[in-house]
Homo-oligomer: A and B are copies of this chain.
Amino acid sequence: MTELDTNSWQGIKSEVMRRISDRRWQPGDLIPGEVELAEEFGCARATVNRALRELADSGLLDRKRKAGTRVTLNPVRKATVEIPVIRKDVETRGKIYSFDVLDRKDLAPSAVLRQQYGLPASAPLMGLWTLHRADGEPFAYEERWINLLVVPKIIEADLETLSANEWLVRNMPLSRGEFTFSAGNATAAESRLLNCPEDAALFIVNRSTWVVDDAITAVRLVYAPGFSMKTVV
C-alpha cells in the first residue's frame, strides 16, 4: 500500500487533498477546525496544524484566525523554479562548462545605470561581460554590474577561474533577489556572440540581488536559442 496513516501529518495532508479533489470540500467551503479534525483522525492538534499549514503555504487553503480554514477559491499555482549556478545548469545537461570573460571595467556607474538598477549614487561598480559555454558552444551571454561598496573583496578574486556568478554565490550566500523572465530578439552583437541569426528569439533573465537594502549585483542573462526552463508543481 502507498497509503499513509491519518495520524501522520503527511497522511492527513493527503486525506485533506483527497477530500478537496473529491469535491467533498469545495472551493470556498469552510472545513472543520483543527480540534475537530484532530479528534476525527485520532491525533494531536499540532499534527493537523502541520498538515493544514503546508496546504495553506502551497495556496490550497486559506486560513484565518477565528474565521477558520477554507478551500481557496482561486488557487494560484506556485511553481518553484530552481536557479542553479550556470555551471551546474550546463553540467546537468550533460555538457562541459567553460566561460570567457570578454571584458571587465571598474568604474563609477552612469546615472542611467544607477537608476535602472537602484544603485547608490556614489557606488563604484565593476562591469563584467561574460560568455558561458556548453561543450564549447555559446550557452548564455551575461552582462553584470557588481556593487564594489558591498563586495570589495571581489576585486582581488580571480574571476577567470571562478565565474563571478559562482564567486558571489559562495561569498554572499544570503540575498534577496528579483528575477524577470522575458523574450527578446537577438541584437547584432548578441547574434555574433551566441552564434545565431540576428533577430532570433532569445530567453532573457534579468536578476537583481540585495543584501538587506544594499544592491549587490544586477545581471542580464541572454540564453542561446533553444534554451528552456523547466519546472514541476
B230 touches A178 (CB 8 A): yes
Chain B residues with CB under 8 A of A169: 74-75
B199 touches A185 (CB 8 A): yes
Least CB distance, A44 to chain B, in whole angstroms:
12
Contacts A178-B230, A178-B231; A173 near B75 (Cβ below 8 A):
yes
Interface of A with B (CB < 8 Å)?
17, 20-21, 27, 60, 71-72, 74-85, 88, 169-170, 172-185, 199-204, 211, 223, 225, 227-233
A20-B174, A71-B173, A81-B81 given; 10 more Cβ-contact pairs under 8 Å: A20-B173, A21-B172, A27-B173, A75-B173, A76-B83, A78-B80, A78-B82, A79-B177, A81-B231, A178-B232
Chain B residues with CB under 8 A of A227: 182-183
A183 touches B211 (CB 8 A): no
